[in-house]
Amino acid sequence: MATMTVSAAIVGPTSYTGLYLIQILLRHPQAAIAYLASQRDEPVNIAAEFPQLMGRCDMTCRPIDPAAMAKEADVAFCCVPHAVAMQYVPALLQAGMRVIDLSADYRLLDADLYEKVYQHKHTDPGNLEEAAYGLPELFADDIPEAALVANPGCYPTAAALGITPLLQKQLVKTSGIVISAASGVTGAGRRPAAHLHFPEVNEGFCAYNVGVHRHQPEIEQTLSAVAEQPVQVLFVPHLLPVDRGILESIYMDPATEAVTEEQLFEAFEQAYADEPFIRVRNDLPNVKHVRDTNFCDLTVRLVGGKVVVFSAIDNMIKGASGQAVQNMNLMFGLDQTTGLL
């Protein structure tokens, strides 16, 4: 029996998310990279841009031309900044491709909130209404039929997976949730910036954007949906001087004094019993143990009257390109783990 091959195009392949997407697709048994689409005027050989691809992917980027791309590809991944993605997504859909957008442009349901948070007018509210939020462990039913999937943010992925089962089982209060999170430097993308240079970051560790990070509304949107009531969080991100990985320590109040640690574990184990990418662990997660994998490692403790969840992912994989391929698999009727284990 012939097996299906999904042909993929990547808009913005010279990005970090593009690099990891290419690497995953190269080992995917039922996907092929058909078209790399770059904004650059000079044709870019992708292996010259990323030498780790030498001998593995000898493709030259071509112009971002949705009609030409649609002749060769079933799906387009958008690996470009927010506000840029929505310049291309309508034409990619119109040309007949399905789209997985890694930017934030289609994640927030409310265009007014998007404009407030991202300081940009939303130019494609029609497709915003149609987009599925691509967090398969929580919203799997929405993904297979979607023409457009908004791939979640990295911090929101680790937070939503770490909090949802406890909210759904009403084991924690919906108020007073504090998320202390740390991300490796690739989370900021490949474009150079002074505060991201090696001497600035190496051996440093600091918080940033406390209470005003753009991922906070996305986290609140997901938690409010699963709790079926408004949930607000305090989100405190930190810049971790490693290249990849996110660890979140999430502090919550138990719903009552009767809540036990055993019940908290049970909630995770039941919720994720059939989820291949969630590992509920007894020991404390470490970014090193999820590196280059699509896993989210989770554990929970009840200490000093607080519930504390620890959630670890690779920001480039479960936080971006791996999750995007998980979504592609679901959209094209493949097992969600294909190419990812």
Ligand X SMILES: NC(=O)c1ccc[n+]([C@@H]2O[C@H](COP(=O)([O-])OP(=O)(O)OC[C@H]3O[C@@H](n4cnc5c(N)ncnc54)[C@H](OP(=O)(O)O)[C@@H]3O)[C@@H](O)[C@H]2O)c1
* Catalytically active residues, by annotation: 154
- Which of positions 130-169 make contact with ligand X (CB under 6 A)? 153-154
**Contact between 14 and ligand X per CB under 6 A:** yes
Least distance in angstroms from the C-beta of 37 to ligand X: 8
- Which of positions 230-269 make contact with ligand X (CB under 6 A)? none
Least distance in angstroms from the C-beta of 190 to ligand X: 3
**Contact between 81 and ligand X per CB under 6 A:** yes
Going residue by residue from 180 to 199, which x/- string records binding to ligand X, judged by CB under 6 A? Answer: ------xx-xxx--------
Q: How many residues bind ligand X (CB under 6 A)?
A: 28
Q: Which stretch binds ligand X (CB under 6 A): 37-45, 128-136, 162-170, 275-283?
A: 37-45
Q: Which runs of E-coded beta strand occur in 82-141?
A: 98-101, 132-133
| Nearer to ligand X (CB atom), residue 38 or residue 329 | 38
Chain centroid offset of residue 82 CA: 14
**Contact between 117 and ligand X per CB under 6 A:** no
- What residue ranges bind ligand X (CB under 6 A)? 12, 14-18, 38-40, 79-82, 84, 102-104, 153-154, 186-187, 189-191, 315-316, 319-320
